[in-house]
A and B are shown apart, each in its own frame.
Chain A
Amino acid sequence: MSDARLRTPFPERAHAALEDAHLQEALGIATTKFIGLRRESFAGFPEGEALRDRARAIKEGTLQQLDRHLERLADSIERLGGHVHWAATGEEARDIVLRLCRDKGVRMAVKSKSMATEEIELNDALEAAGVKPVETDLGEYIIQLAHEKPSHIIAPAIHKTKGQVADLFSKELGGRFEADPEVLTAVARKELRQKFLDADMGITGANFAVAETGTIVLVTNEGNGRMVTSLPRIHVAVMGMEKVIPTMTDLMVFLAILARSATGQKLSSYTTLVRGPRQPGETEGPEELHLILMDNGRTRQIAGTLREALYCLRCGACLNVCPVYRQIGGHAYGHTYPGPIGILLTAMLKGAASVKDLAHASSLCGACKDVCPVRIDIPRMLVDLREQLDREKIAPWPERMVFRLARRIMTSPALFRLGASLGRVAQRPFVRNGRVRGLPLFFGKWTRTRDLPPVASRTFSERWKDLERP
């Protein structure tokens, strides 16, 4: 994500999002729809809960022997004639793609939706190297035209209304298009068709890669993933190392819950299974297949506090239900991965200090944990992340002082009583009609938008003396 965006403090980015009427309209409609679809889908799927447990267990088991599964995956891919590249960092992954482009004379690459390539900001790197990247997922295509970044893990243009998309297409593609999703989709389809045919390289991510068979799995709804992996002469898949799963049976478990969690579908419209490049005697498929296995901070967390974040399937369900995400959208977070899971993934990729504000961008309501297909305990991990911020003295010192003082008060009934008495005196000028308003300084953060109940003239502890003798 551009550094310019991060120079604005998070609360200001959130403020801007709250003021953006288009964003509020688009986000409200879309997240509400996603929530309903997911709920309905699982309501009619009683075995779903057990499958979620099983999926979680598979992820956990795979992590315990990640090296073994990755080696097996690499062997399987190579046996099929594919090439496997190992990238310790995002930079290495990017360089591998650029080197392939250079060596193979690639001028244009079509892409299917991939958060891994967003993570390494591949499009910017490709453009700088003179390779034209073309996003072919409709949402990605929209934001590429708008020179923006995805604001949702599976719905990158969720922040835009159809009216905005119509205006964008009209301006960028020349013409006058009405704000009708069918019309706009047809426009994009026509624009993209020739690109698929002209591209030298197809770049994808991977929802899963099956170690036993070397199958790269793409879950999409537009069929563009299938064209990206079959029409150009080279297919490059960039994948986070945690995406490996052991067997095809395991894949069935994940497919049964992934689309349900993401969009409420039983299965997405297209589930593309790629097994190696074109084989002798086959008439379709790319001549070359490259799989880039990217670490970029992941394996460090196998034994770290963010371990569970490595289970993530990137379904986006936790974003849809998050009260914070639903209000501010993805861009305000300022990093590739937004929402509650995004805070954890950002900490994984860029370190805890990079999320010192974002770690608090959650009311810990637990809705994310509830809908996560693999039951990642996101609130718990956010709290642990906050603990790390205190322990490593990344949290600002005034805050740490305030909480130390709070602990003093909480461990001393005398101080606690004194606090109540002081509160009663201090609130006097601000009580109107039995409510506290217009408090100064820090307290104004509450009273600017909400009343505060006054400290009671007699606290419960003080009233107990009367209650004791009923």
Chain B
Amino acid sequence: MITCLGDMFFPEVGVAMVRLLRRLGVTVEFPQGQTCCGMPLFNSGYHHDAALVAQRTVGLFAGAEHVVVPSGSCAWMVKTEYPGLLKDDPALKAAAEVLAKKTYELSQFLVDVLGVTSVESSFRGKVAYHDSCHLLRGLGESRAPRTLLRGVEGCELVDLPGSDECCGFGGSFSVRLPEVSTAVLDKKLANAEGTGADYLVACDAGCLMQMGGGLTRRGSRVRAVHLAQILAPEDSA
């Protein structure tokens, strides 16, 4: 599953994920017609509209064995909110529950389903890992991405102070209260720069858009990248 921000702004993340999964022997398919998981609608209170989006997504992935998405928040949306959104139609709700169960955020899929702790790749650089809110608190995951990063040859994982604190994105929050959002972001970026890391790694397109946008604006040498880009860099084929 490649959701809206990933499709439009970060296609290279999806490409890296496909490269990575194939290297691990996974058959990858991409059902056409995907758009967005509906989280922006849901979070802003447009639940009826979000349900219509959910209904579509549930149908698109009916045939898949596992659904893997490189974004903690989208995975959280599908896993925890879809069944409730579609509760009025028993058949749809059942289908949503099936999808919820077989949907995984990428790092969780690698570690929990494939049982991989190292993808046997190499990447040169110092990386700091940011815990995306929905992956950390929504799906309870803080270990899998770090385990995978530690397994990469040449990659040095450094501790990011306040790694569990929000980056200030929050979907429409980032434009409803841009000043507050940016103040929260500044703290995150100062922490990241303080670690001396070359890369700030996250598992969520939203956080990457926020942190990446802040880093280039301040002319920082730190780059925001997705976990998949570290695990399967472009030249690794």
Contacts and interface: CB of A to CB of B under 8 A. Distances in A.
Among all A-B residue pairs, the 7 with the closest Cβ atoms: A363-B170, A386-B45, A450-B213, A365-B166, A407-B49, A366-B137, A387-B45
B124 interface: no
B13 to A, nearest CB: 8
Contacts of A411: 35, 52-53, 56
A385 B182 CA distance: 24
Given A435-B213, A461-B32, 19 more contacts: A360-B172, A360-B177, A363-B133, A363-B166, A363-B169, A363-B184, A365-B166, A383-B45, A407-B49, A410-B53, A412-B35, A449-B217, A451-B212, A459-B8, A461-B2, A461-B30, A461-B34, A467-B15, A467-B30
B170 A367 contact: no
A359 B173 CA distance: 10
B18 A467 contact: yes
A79 interface: no
Contacts of A423: 8
A360 B47 contact: no
Interface stretch (B36-44, B94-102, B151-159, B193-201): B36-44
Interface of B: 2, 4, 6-11, 14-15, 18, 22, 30, 32-36, 38, 40-47, 49-50, 52-53, 56, 133-134, 137-138, 164-166, 168-185, 209-210, 212-214, 216-217
Interface of A: 11, 14-15, 18, 323-324, 327-328, 359-367, 369-370, 383-391, 395, 399-400, 403-404, 406-407, 409-413, 416, 420, 423, 435, 437, 442, 445-446, 448-456, 458-464, 467-468, 470
Contact of B173 (A362, A369, A388, A412): A362
B11 A364 contact: no
Contact of B217 (A11, A413, A451): A451
A389 B9 CA distance: 31
A391 B46 CA distance: 8
Given A390-B46, A461-B32, A327 B183 contact: yes
Contacts of B168: 323, 363
Contact of A327 (B52, B170, B184): B184
B137 A369 contact: yes
Contact of B8 (A413, A442, A456): A456
Nearest to A385: B45
Contacts of B18: 467
B180 A460 contact: no
B210 A450 contact: yes
Given A413-B35, A448-B178, A407 B137 contact: no
